[in-house]
Structure 1
Amino acid sequence: MLATVAAGVMVSAGVASADPYDCPDGAVCAWPYEGYNGQVAVHYGAVRPGECWAPGFEALSVLNFTGQDQQTWSDYYCTVGGDLLRDGQGHGGGGYAYSIGAYP
């Protein structure tokens, strides 16, 4: 699968958080530590097919509130397999993601 890195994506940084529900509706969020801890990176809106969002760190916690299924990837370019992340689903540890893309 070929993917391009999404350009012009609004990304904001937040403060450390232990509450995954600090991730806003309509966004996919990534944290560098398990348990939704550390500085959160936020991608507003779903990552569209053919695009790839890399938060810039190995995310040990991710949460999807985009309204669409997303895919976590084991590399920065959305080419090496990861896990399906359904809308409203997240994982606060035990996995990692270097990038997030649209689920086919």
Structure 2
Amino acid sequence: YCNRGSVVYGAEAMEHLGRIGTVVYLKLPYRELERRLSDIKGRGVVLRDGQTLHDLYEERVPLYEKYADVIVDEHHLNVEQTIEKIMELKERFQ
């Protein structure tokens, strides 16, 4: 289990995660992500000088998609529905 988005910058780390488990990308449209991360500093999101959250999103999405074994599109899903989708996928990958 890894809940930090910045791990995606480490190719070796991502390859290791792929070897030991299933990498799941919880995909959200930018606006929804922005709403959920209303307090980005409190959530531990680190931005470089001059970088916006949108810049970070655009930079990371291709990496998340590259390394994901499975992509769960969370658009229009609540937490329970997202968990249901993940549990269905878990059964498929066991």
Tell me whether the two structures share a fold, i.e. TM-score over 0.5.
no
Q: Which has the higher contact order (CA 8 A, sep 6+)?
A: 2
TM-score, reference length from structure 2: 0.25
The structure with the largest helix share of the pair is 2
Q: Highest CA radius of gyration, 1 or 2?
A: 2
The structure with the largest strand share of the pair is 1
